[in-house]
Amino acid sequence: MEFVNIILVISASQGFLFGFAIIFSPYFKSQTNKYLGYSILILSFLMLNVYLDALEIYKEYPKFLILYDIEWIFLFPVFFFHYILKSIDHNLIGDRKLLLLYIPFLFSVIINVIFNLEYVYEWYRYSWEYKAFVYDWIFDIQEFGYYSFNFVIGIWAYRILNGEKYINHQNSKWLKRLCIWEFLLVTSWILIDIADMIFDIGYHIGISIICSETSLFIFWIVYNGIYSLKLTNKKNVVSVSDNDAMDKKTELSISENSFSENNVYFQKLENLLRKDCIYRDPNLNQEMISEALNISSGYLSQIVNDVTKKNFTAYINSYRVKEVKDMILDEEFDKYSLLAIGLEAGFKSKTTFYTSFKKETGLTPNQFKTNHKKVLIF
């Protein structure tokens, strides 16, 4: 028992240390990395819950049992998926449909709050002939759900990474390994549960194995997802510094303003967009710009996400929308259709054009044009 508790404390402590460091440390902090930090904190909180349960804290203070009953594991694949999408700057980032991924967790919160309010807090009593059967059925669905949910999200993320658009992405290789790790970890949890049901291997042995694997998993994703990435970013900064023959003061300035508008690479990017109007190329992508700036695609994504609070695609489309608005306001383009103007600004399709314009302005191109004409009349 003592050995199991030691493993739990070490695993949870390591996870909280890494998780908070990623979220709050200036060295790691970014819009992308924070989701990795959230994922690690969820795993750490789960191990802390197991540790508190082993110490029988929840028996002594049953009012806190709700923290143990809620299946926080439903949040792990959601944050995990967001991290992968942001790492490759996927188009799904910012899509409100991703909020649907939180439904399983909300389901767990609702049913466990209802259950605890009745049986632990005793706020009310509701008699029903089939109540016990329904509760058993719901909690069985919940147990099946957190295993299958992790599987589905892991497979979905792997399929995205294996798609033609992202298969050669700079971060794709290790992110695929991350998906495989997550898949194996969940598989291990299931096999241990099955082994315990069939062979009665014992709660403590199962927990020791799971926590050891989780601890190793946390260390692996921190090293590969943050440490290695940061080394790459620093290497890029140095190489560009050498190529441009910058002095030490300028190099320090780059480091201190890594994720601000004063960042040298962000300023170069803005210059390419404003003066060279590279956004007019409908085939423009993140890799093309990162090569032009001589930095990694991942570093470029972090700069854009942190400075503009938008993903790469939305940021580029904002320039296209601005040009469309300028052309609509220009009488020389009155003879052109709105779709032709959108394509001229760099949009690849009508759907992308209308969706991006509405998201950026709150109006469709037709509404914007109509409103402008009303202003001119008056």
> In the prediction, which pLDDT does 341 show?
93
pLDDT tens for the chain, 378 residues long, are 577 778 778 878 888 988 888 888 766 667 788 898 899 999 999 989 888 888 889 999 999 999 999 999 999 999 999 999 988 888 888 788 999 999 999 999 999 999 999 999 989 888 888 888 999 999 999 989 988 999 999 999 999 999 888 887 777 888 888 899 888 888 888 888 788 778 777 666 777 788 788 888 888 877 776 655 554 444 444 334 444 444 444 444 444 345 677 788 888 999 999 988 999 999 898 888 988 888 887 788 888 988 898 899 999 999 999 999 999 988 888 888 999 999 999 999 999 999 999 999 999 999 998 887 655 444
Instruction: Confirm if 189 and 210 have CB atoms less than 8 A apart.
Output: yes
Per-domain boundaries in the chain = 2-236, 254-377
> In the prediction, which pLDDT does 243 show?
43
pTM for the structure as a whole: 0.64
Within 10 angstroms of residue 250's Cβ, the number of other Cβ atoms is 13
Architecture of the structural domain at 2-236: Up-down Bundle (1.20)
> In the prediction, which pLDDT does 173 show?
82
> In the prediction, which pLDDT does 185 show?
86
List alpha helices for 55-90, DSSP H. 57-60, 65-69, 75-87
Please tell me the CATH code under which domain 254-377 is placed. Answer: 1.10.10.60
- Pairwise CA distance, residues 128 & 116, whole Å: 17
> In the prediction, which pLDDT does 94 show?
77
DSSP state of 348: S
> In the prediction, which pLDDT does 377 show?
47
> In the prediction, which pLDDT does 248 show?
41
Contacts 24+ apart (CB under 8 A), 306-310: 306/30, 306/31, 306/259, 306/260, 307/259, 307/260, 307/261, 307/263, 307/266, 309/31, 310/94
- Within 8 A by CB and 6+ apart from 378, the residues are none
